[in-house]
C-alpha cells in the first residue's frame, strides 16, 4: 500500500507544481506533507488540520556586492549572488540559486526596468533580429494608418 501512497503523492504534487512555482525546499516540504497526510488517512487516523502557515516576513534587502552602475554592461551582466559575468541571468539564477527573477529583484531591491537580466549587446542583437524578421511592423502600420 505504501507504493500506492507514493503514486498518489507524486500525482498530487506534480499537479500542484505544474500550476505554481515552487523552490526545491518548498517542493520537498510539500512532498513530505502530502505523503504524511495520505499515510495518516490510510491508517485511519483523523486528518490533521493543515499546518499553520508561517507568516511571510518581508525579506531583508541585501546590499549588492558591487556598485549598481557596474551590474549591466555591454557584454555581460553580473550575478549579484555569485559574481559571475554572463550574457543572460534568468536561467542561471533559477538553476544555480533557486530564485525566480522576481525574488532576485526583490532580494536586492532592484528595478527590473533599470537592471535587466540580459546584457546590452545581447538585447540589441535580439532587437535587430526581431526588426529584420518584421516583428512589430503590423502594429506600426496600424498606427500610421490612424494618424
Q: DSSP string spanning 87-142? A: SB-HHHHHHHH---HHHHHHHHT--TTTS-SB-HHHHHHHHHHHHHTTTTHHHHHH
Which CATH number belongs to the domain containing residue 75 in this structure? 1.10.10.1550
pLDDT tens string 15-29? 877 776 778 888 888
For residue 20, being part of any structural domain is answered with yes
pLDDT tens string 75-123? 999 999 888 999 999 999 999 999 999 999 999 888 888 899 999 999 9
For residue 75, being part of any structural domain is answered with yes
Are residues 36 and 28 in contact, defined by beta-carbon separation less than 8 angstroms?
no
Q: What is the pLDDT of residue 44?
A: 78
Mean pLDDT value of segment 124-130: 92
When pLDDT is cut at 50, 70 and 90, the band that residue 1 belongs to is low
Q: Rounded to an integer, what distance in angstroms lies between the CA atom of residue 31 and that of residue 33?
A: 6
When pLDDT is cut at 50, 70 and 90, the band that residue 56 belongs to is very low
38 and 77 both lie in a single domain: no
Q: What is the pLDDT of residue 54?
A: 43
Look at residue 44 and give its three-state secondary structure.
Answer: coil
For residue 38, being part of any structural domain is answered with yes
Q: What is the pLDDT of residue 24?
A: 83
Number of domains in the chain: 2
Q: Rounded to an integer, what distance in angstroms lies between the CA atom of residue 116 and that of residue 88?
A: 9
Give the structural domain span for 77: 68-121
For residue 135, being part of any structural domain is answered with no
Amino acid at each position: 500500500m505504501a507504493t500506492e501512497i507514493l503514486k498518489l503523492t507524486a500525482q498530487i504534487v506534480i499537479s500542484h507544481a505544474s500550476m505554481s512555482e515552487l523552490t526545491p525546499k518548498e517542493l520537498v516540504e510539500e512532498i513530505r506533507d502530502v505523503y504524511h497526510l495520505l499515510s495518516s488517512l490510510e491508517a485511519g487516523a483523523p486528518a490533521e488540520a493543515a499546518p499553520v502557515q508561517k507568516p511571510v516576513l518581508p525579506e531583508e534587502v541585501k546590499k549588492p556586492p558591487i556598485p549598481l552602475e557596474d551590474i549591466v554592461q555591454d557584454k555581460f551582466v553580473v550575478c549579484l549572488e555569485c559574481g559571475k559575468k554572463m550574457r543572460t541571468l534568468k536561467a542561471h539564477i533559477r538553476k544555480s540559486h533557486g530564485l525566480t527573477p522576481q525574488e532576485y529583484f526583490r532580494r536586492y531591491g532592484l528595478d527590473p526596468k533599470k537592471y535587466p537580466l540580459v546584457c546590452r549587446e545581447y538585447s540589441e542583437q535580439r532587437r535587430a533580429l526581431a526588426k529584420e524578421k518584421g516583428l512589430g511592423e503590423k502594429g506600426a502600420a496600424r498606427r500610421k494608418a490612424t494618424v
